[in-house]
């Protein structure tokens, strides 16, 4: 097993589902994101690109901010079919959207992987006329970037 520093860059389309009351003025929504993700591991010749799907739930405040959320992630190398699997926790720090990805399973090159990546998230509605906190399904644009560490098989 070898330790690597890793950088992650990801962007694409995300959708929030219908909002349901949670507590107070908070609501909860499902999210589903289809993104292209680029991982670069230190000491490797080049990046690996993935077709990525993230599915989970967010807690949404009246202003459209998301103080908490969590989800499951599946990254698939479109060339080899190898999978990289894990989960993500979303949170806010000083009014900024953040996330922590934890990867703990995979196939092929990623079998036995262990690692975490701390990320920043930028998200907005695809249509500026539809507010994120409208309560109805909203299609959005998402961009994620961050760094972390992975242990992978040699």
Instruction: State the pLDDT at residue 107.
Output: 97
Instruction: State the pLDDT at residue 86.
Output: 98
Q: Token match 């190398």: residue? A: 77
Q: What digits encode the pLDDT tens for the residues 112-146? A: 999 999 999 999 999 999 888 788 899 999 999 99
pTM recorded for the entire structure:
0.95
Q: Please say whether the beta carbons of 82 and 74 come within 8 A.
A: no
CA dist 78 and 2 (Å) reads 24
Domain that holds residue 83: 2-152
For the four alpha carbons of 83, 3, 54 and 51, in that order, the dihedral sign comes to negative
CATH of residue 90: 2.40.350
Q: What digits encode the pLDDT tens for the residues 83-114? A: 999 999 999 999 999 999 999 999 999 999 99
* Total structural domains within the chain: 1
């Amino acid at each position: 097993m070898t330790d690597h520093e890793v950088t992650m860059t990801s962007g694409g389309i995300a959708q929030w589902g219908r909002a349901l009351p949670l507590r107070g003025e908070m609501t909860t929504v499902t999210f589903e994101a289809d993104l292209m993700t680029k991982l670069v591991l230190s000491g490797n010749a080049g990046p690996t690109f993935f077709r990525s799907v993230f599915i989970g739930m967010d807690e949404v405040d009246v202003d459209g901010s998301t103080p908490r959320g969590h989800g499951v992630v599946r990254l698939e190398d479109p060339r080899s079919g190898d999978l990289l699997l894990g989960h993500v926790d979303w949170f806010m720090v000083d009014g900024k959207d953040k996330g922590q990805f934890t990867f703990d399973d995979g196939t092929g090159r990623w079998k036995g992987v262990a690692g975490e990546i701390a990320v920043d998230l930028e998200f907005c509605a695809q249509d500026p006329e539809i507010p994120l906190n409208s309560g109805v399904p909203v299609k959005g644009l998402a961009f994620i970037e961050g760094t972390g560490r992975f242990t992978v098989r040699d």
